[in-house]
Amino acid sequence: MTTAPSSGSDTAASRWRRLQADTDTVHRALDARIMAADPFRDRARYGLFLAMQIAIFRDVDALYADPALRAVFPDLATRRKLGLAEQDAADLGLAVPRLAEPAFAGTIDAPTGMGWLYVVEGADLGAPFLLQETRKIGVDETFGARHMQGPEHGRGLHWRLFTEALDAASLTAAEDARVLAGAHAAFARANVLFEAAGLSA
């Protein structure tokens, strides 16, 4: 995950900008923790990173089919990454263990889901930098890192479409608070999955 670059309006009314500012510390801490773990040293180490990615994508997979969230993000179904990440594991001959029940397995609170999606979708912006490292171990967008593939229209536009939809959503103050709580929960969960994958060893 890498900090999202500038996009769109920088006004105080921008929901995604507020999310970015409020989660900046935990975001940077997670980035630093992941890179300090040297996840691209070799394919075995990359396998641990991929296990973490699959677990995160499994956590949020139900969000991509949720009608309320699809109403906010019209292209949401096309953004799903779990299938690609599972194919990456197959490419590398990795058996990824099934973890506990995913974070979203029952009724979905849309504002909370929006916060989680902000984190997961934002993480894709760092993929070009990660791919520079994975290529050194023979892993790229066509083998082992399919989940890092960029959209045909470019990552910048892909992110802008997401943030514009996020900003345009009509929410109450209480719902906005749940969006923020969801983003923080996603970062906290990523830290748990980092440990579960064995990257801290």
Total domains, the chain: 1
> What CATH number has the domain bearing residue 152?
1.20.910.10
| Residue 21 counted as domain residue | no
| pLDDT > 90? residue 6 | no
Q: Both tokens of residue 113?
A: 């889901």
**Which one-letter DSSP state was computed for residue 9?**
-
φ, ψ for residue 143, nearest 5 deg: -155, 110
Give one DSSP letter per residue of 15-70, joined into a string.
HHHHHHHHHHHHHHHHHHHHHHT-TTSSHHHHHHHHHHHHHHHHHHGGGGG-HHHH
| Residue 84 counted as domain residue | yes
| Residue 201 counted as domain residue | no
| Residue 80 counted as domain residue | yes
φ, ψ for residue 197, nearest 5 deg: -75, -15
High-pLDDT (> 70) share of the chain, %: 93
pLDDT single digits (tens) 182-195: 999 999 999 999 99
pLDDT single digits (tens) 150-191: 999 999 999 999 999 999 999 999 999 999 999 999 999 999
| Residue 19 counted as domain residue | no
What is the pTM for the complete model shown? 0.92
